[in-house]
Amino acid sequence: MTTLNRQATPQDPDHLKGLHDDLQEVWGNPRGIRALTIVNHTTVGLRFMVTGMVFFLIGGILAMLIRTQIAMPDQNFMNPDIYNQVTTMHGTVMMFLFAIPMLEGLAIYMIPKMIGGRDLVCPRLSALGYFCYLFGGTILTFSIVLEMAPNSGWFMYTPLSSSEYSPGLGSDFWLLGITFVEISAVSAGVELVVSILRTRTQGMALHKMPIFAWYILAMALMIVVGFPPLILGSILLELERAVGMPFFDVAGGGDPLLWQHLFWLFGHPEVYIIFLPAAGVVSTLIPVFAGRPLVGYGWVVFAITVMGFISFGLWVHHMFTVGIPQLAQAFFSAASMLVAIPTAIQVFVWLATLWVGKPRFELPMLWIVGFLVIFVCGGLTGVMLALVPFNWQVHDTHFVVAHMHYVLVGGMLFPLMAGLYYWLPLFSGRMPSETIGKWGFWLVFIGFNVTFLIMHWTGLLGMPRRIYTYDTGMGWDIFNLISSIGGFVMSAGFAVVVIDLLLHFRYGKPAKENPWRADTLEWANSLPPSPYNFVSLPKIETRHPLWDDPDLPRTIREGKHRLAVASHGRRELWGSDPLTGKLREVIHLPGNSWWPFCAALALAVVCVSLLIRWYPLAGIAVIVAGVFLLRWSWENGAHPRAAPDARVQEGDPPLHSRTLDGPGLWTMTTTMIANGAFFLSFLFGWFYLWTVSPEWSMPDTSPLSLFAMLAVGLLFAVGCTAMETCVHRLRQRNDLGLRLRLLVAALLGAVASMVLLWLILSADLAITETAHDAVLMVGLVYALFHVSLAALLSLLQALRVGYGYVSAEAPFEPVVVAYFWRYSVLMLWVLVGALAILPRVIGG
């Protein structure tokens, strides 16, 4: 450990160069095979985006195959099975492998730069998320090459996707591949939430955040809450297909509508998960090109919040035709109409900003205007579809397909393109080509409208979606032909965009500093940015830092602000108060690591071995992945590879690992929100089947021993108390007996695990015969996982006390582990009530 006082001064250019060298040494990216160890948000974000673009091209080719097949009646370009595979994979690739990862990639890349950070708060999690996405997406896409792709539609309705009607591996590819990819989405969601709330630079209070950060915060929270229902649904459906547990099989007491509920509990918010970051791009770009602040910042925050919530109350409008009571349909119809209000507020804010500003119609603005036109049209047909009678008429027709594309392409792709062109100078240090860019835009804009405006009419004429051909007498011929021509024009437009991007990195004109005269902090980076973003971290108390202080990029570069030191070898950024932006700690981040790649690789083996039903290998791979992840968690806090030396510069707050409220606690809290959403979805499934499923049968006597369940609950609660005692004493800086208490907690957790395991084995559940027993099994295994993991984490903490990594001076980790115990105790007792007590009280 060397000195901690090398801080740059403008009078000392050698010192400044030394500081840059230090930062480069600490933050730099390795090359060659070791590039797989990179965890830096700039690289990981770019990887997400480039991979997303590749999947976009694959999805686009699939779209053109669809348009070729139905361009004319009675065509045999594809047989029905291949057509079904192509349509399913087009939707799946675009929604799961392009839209969400692409926007997450943009957020991962952009957020730290906008809020004055040097990286996201969990960089190894970013890297794990990327590799899970890459491997999961590759496995899923590979099914096309094998001609074994899923063919039940991108929402995989049961019973069509169940083993009876989809006996091949197609549905399994979807369920396992998507679940794998969703690990990536939830990982990104968790760390974006924590990064935005806890790592903003000094002084950046919540109401001074860049508006893009508000959008990403809402998106990330929605991912955290919205994805778990689908993860649960996918696990249940895969269990039904692989093991025969009848969750969605009526004869066994299940209900196929449960799948629809779980899917759309995720699926409808997903539309807004995609839309919100894209709208964030619009709200960021319009003020820049209008040359004035956004009109109604507060109103936009209001609209974002409303959208984030209301979008979770609309899922049944995808299920209006399944036989739900009219009054319930009316609830969802009304809620669907309500979402027009926050959308309209944003549209009016954007128009007002343009109205009162002096807009410059440069290339990114062209895509923004295209977005406004298309998205407003898509929004209006959305309100039409919210009306139950109209919805019934056009259900499952091309009208719905056209509406969806107007909303998703207009609402996401156009702003994304605007954002890509806008931030190109940041990615490459070069300016985009206005001429080629405009050609690309107009071809896409015209092609899109020709394709999908016409598709509304084919839908109104009654053409159902996903039919692989049609008779010439239906009156749909000319419309389909025009739609297909439009589709190819749009493809030509994207080809021009791709060529433009490829040429750009070679021939683009070098960009000058802050080329669009923007107001946000990302433009204070060098072009392209260094791995550490900022040499020094400025105090920001305005929403428009670069407009209010145009000299900021220079002063940051010259290290005139704080935390301009790296000679200690740590990757550092500020940990700030989530509301006020006041400094609370110095967060030290882990460096490049093999663990994320290794863990993702092991999880890929799990995925593939489950796919080919080679369960022993899957079991081994799960254990290997677990070992990798625990080893990863070992290199934290006071570990020699993390921050063994707690010294900081004079006047700086302490290192986060030496406090009791670091970002790890926030990460655990956010993860438990996702976990809680998963658990609530499970409870929803349990009560839904109990109440609604026509063949549900509750046994006269519960197969679960109430005594054993209560014993597990009590043992675990006492273990949790031991953990709480550890935390309480650490708060008083007292670590006497810490190791013993942790061992007691671990022991109690282990005993509770064993009792629970005995309970599962002795219950003699008929999991393949009744949905009741199958649901019980899932609930008990979920509980067993938590109880065992809590015990294991406490045991590791006790070991770390022995190594000196956890103590009164480094008290952080037991606080995080105790939070996991708290969640698990709560979950366990709710489970005892729902599965063991309530059936005894109410009965069948």
Cα 702 to Cα 262, 754, 770, 783, 784: the distances in Å are 26, 20, 13, 18, 19
How far apart are CB 518 and other proteins at their closest, in Å? Answer: 23
Q: Encoding tokens for residue 290? A: 């209008």
**Residue 368 near residue 279, CB atoms below 8 Å:** no
**Residue closer to other proteins (CB basis): 157 or 302:** 302
How far apart are CB 388 and other proteins at their closest, in Å? Answer: 10
How far apart are CB 120 and other proteins at their closest, in Å? Answer: 22
Read off φ and ψ for residue 576, nearest 5 degrees. -120, 165
Alpha carbon distance 436, 545 (integer Å): 32
Q: Is the peptide bond prior to 528 cis by the omega test (within 30 degrees of 0)?
A: yes
**Residue closer to other proteins (CB basis): 61 or 306:** 306
Quick one: how many helices (H) and strands (E) in the chain? 27, 4
**Residue closer to other proteins (CB basis): 334 or 384:** 334
Which element (helix H / strand E) includes 674? helix 663-692
> The dihedral of CA 465, 469, 474, 479: what is its sign?
positive
**Residue closer to other proteins (CB basis): 46 or 301:** 301
Q: Which long-range contacts (CB under 8 A, 24 or more apart) does 72-80 make?
A: 72/477, 72/480, 72/481, 73/469, 73/470, 73/471, 73/472, 73/474, 73/476, 73/477, 73/480, 74/469, 74/470, 74/471, 74/472, 75/469, 76/469, 78/468, 79/468, 80/468
**Residue closer to other proteins (CB basis): 206 or 250:** 206
Q: Encoding tokens for residue 277? A: 């970051």
How far apart are CB 694 and other proteins at their closest, in Å? Answer: 11
How far apart are CB 306 and other proteins at their closest, in Å? Answer: 6
**Residue closer to other proteins (CB basis): 194 or 638:** 194
Contacting residues for 636 by C-beta, under 8 A, at least 6 apart: 590, 642, 657, 664, 805, 813
CA nearest 183: which of 614, 606, 589? 606
Q: DSSP string spanning 717-770?
A: HHHHHHHHHHHHHHHTT--TTHHHHHHHHHHHHHHHHHHHHHHHHHS---TTT-
**Residue closer to other proteins (CB basis): 262 or 745:** 262
Extract the runs of DSSP E, i.e. beta strands, from 335-473: 430-431
**Residue closer to other proteins (CB basis): 389 or 616:** 389
How far apart are CB 796 and other proteins at their closest, in Å? Answer: 34
**Other C-beta atoms within 10 Å of 261: how many?**
21
Helix ranges restricted to H, 461-544: 477-507
**Residue closer to other proteins (CB basis): 178 or 279:** 279
**Residue 502 near residue 511, CB atoms below 8 Å:** no
How far apart are CB 314 and other proteins at their closest, in Å? Answer: 10
Place of tokens 């989809």: 166
How far apart are CB 309 and other proteins at their closest, in Å? Answer: 4
Identity of the residue numbered 366: L
How far apart are CB 316 and other proteins at their closest, in Å? Answer: 8
How far apart are CB 824 and other proteins at their closest, in Å? Answer: 24
Alpha carbon distance 14, 474 (integer Å): 78
**Residue closer to other proteins (CB basis): 244 or 578:** 578
**Residue closer to other proteins (CB basis): 616 or 694:** 694
How far apart are CB 202 and other proteins at their closest, in Å? Answer: 15
Contacting residues for 735 by C-beta, under 8 A, at least 6 apart: 729, 801, 807, 808, 811
**Residue closer to other proteins (CB basis): 268 or 786:** 268
Alpha carbon distance 56, 60 (integer Å): 6
How far apart are CB 658 and other proteins at their closest, in Å? Answer: 28
**Residue closer to other proteins (CB basis): 221 or 497:** 221
Angle ∠(644,646,650) on CA atoms, nearest 5: 155
Alpha carbon distance 598, 595 (integer Å): 5
How far apart are CB 217 and other proteins at their closest, in Å? Answer: 10
**Residue closer to other proteins (CB basis): 114 or 221:** 221
SS3 content of the chain, % helix, strand, coil (to 5): 70, 5, 30
Convert 60-97 to b/e letters by CB count within 10 Å (16 or more is b).
Answer: bebbbbbbebbbbeeeeebeeebbbbbbbbbbbbbbbb
How far apart are CB 140 and other proteins at their closest, in Å? Answer: 33
How far apart are CB 691 and other proteins at their closest, in Å? Answer: 5
Burial (0-12, 13-18, 19+ Cβ within 10 Å), 516? middle
**Residue closer to other proteins (CB basis): 309 or 442:** 309
The site for other proteins (CB under 8 A) is made up of: 205-207, 298, 301-302, 305-306, 308-310, 312-313, 316, 325-328, 330-332, 334-335, 337-338, 341, 579-580, 691-692
How far apart are CB 403 and other proteins at their closest, in Å? Answer: 22
**Residue 703 near residue 765, CB atoms below 8 Å:** yes
**Residue closer to other proteins (CB basis): 313 or 626:** 313
How far apart are CB 298 and other proteins at their closest, in Å? Answer: 5
**Residue closer to other proteins (CB basis): 217 or 836:** 217
**Residue closer to other proteins (CB basis): 257 or 712:** 257
Q: Is the peptide bond prior to 510 cis by the omega test (within 30 degrees of 0)?
A: no
How far apart are CB 401 and other proteins at their closest, in Å? Answer: 28
CA 836 to chain CA mean position, Å = 34
CA 226 to chain CA mean position, Å = 9
Q: Encoding tokens for residue 246? A: 């009848």
Read off φ and ψ for residue 770, nearest 5 degrees. -130, 140
